[in-house]
Amino acid sequence: MPSDRQRVGGYASAVRVASDAPWDAAAQAVTGAIADWQAAHPGILVVAIDGHGTAGKSTLAAEIARITAAALVHTDDFFLRPPAPVGKQPARPLSLREYYDWRRIRAEALEPLRARRSARFRCFDWGRGAGLGGVATVRPSDVILLEGVFSASPELSDLVDWSVFVDTPDHERLRRLQAQVAPDDWDADWLAVQQSYFDQTRPAASFDLVVSGTHPGPADPAGGTS
């Protein structure tokens, strides 16, 4: 995999892996790219693994972390519930940034890890569906994986070196989502702002690497959006 990439509009042109590649091919593609990126730019490397909810990002990131001994941070740990509407008319969230505490991602996770310090932060309580729950500690490593929706957002881009998009067909993502989310918990606003983010802010072509997420992986028992 080439280490020299021509930058287009501030992002590197994407390298696509065949959509029917087996799951281990996706992990190998990313770990191979990480080796190339580290060879070209020694030191701390932060890689965002982004994609639609239920694309398979968490499964892929866990495998990459196992192979590379990377530090692994999940954007789902910094999830936010948008403010409740005032009055009778629901206030629709305007953007995906309203769903993630990106300031805490920066200050409590990425900045300490980039400084080779352990990151310690409280996580969104997926069991209650609101507020903060337990405390996570992530030890530093030469490779830092920031996994989850919004990980490649402009709000974090100055702390992220390379970005990976996990590409999974709509019908497969919907099948997984329906298997994980009860009808009462369905959030149409979430799906709408997520689609806008990938259509307008971070389309697949803006990523450094695009890999397939079609291999079925285990559902995340803790909940979340990945």
Is residue 138 within 8 Å of 78, Cβ to Cβ?
no
Distance between CA atoms of residues 104 and 61, nearest Å: 21
Count Cα neighbours of 40 within 13 Å in the Cβ-side half-sphere: 13
| Domain 17-82+93-212 CATH superfamily | P-loop containing nucleotide triphosphate hydrolases (3.40.50.300)
Pairing mode, strands 132-138 and 119-124: antiparallel
Domain ranges in the chain are: 17-82+93-212
Q: What is the DSSP letter of 132?
A: E
pTM of the model as a whole = 0.79
pLDDT value at residue 83: 60
Per-residue pLDDT of the chain (226 residues; tens, 9 = 90+): 222 222 222 233 333 333 334 457 888 888 888 999 989 888 999 999 999 877 788 888 998 999 999 999 999 999 997 665 555 455 566 788 889 999 999 999 999 999 999 999 999 998 888 889 999 999 999 999 999 999 999 999 999 999 999 987 877 777 777 777 666 566 778 888 889 999 999 999 999 999 877 754 433 333 455 6
The alpha carbon of residue 2 and the mean position of all alpha carbons in its chain are separated, in whole angstroms, by 23
What is the radius of gyration, based on Cα positions, of the chain? 17
Q: Which amino acid is at 16?
A: R
Q: Which amino acid is at 32?
A: G
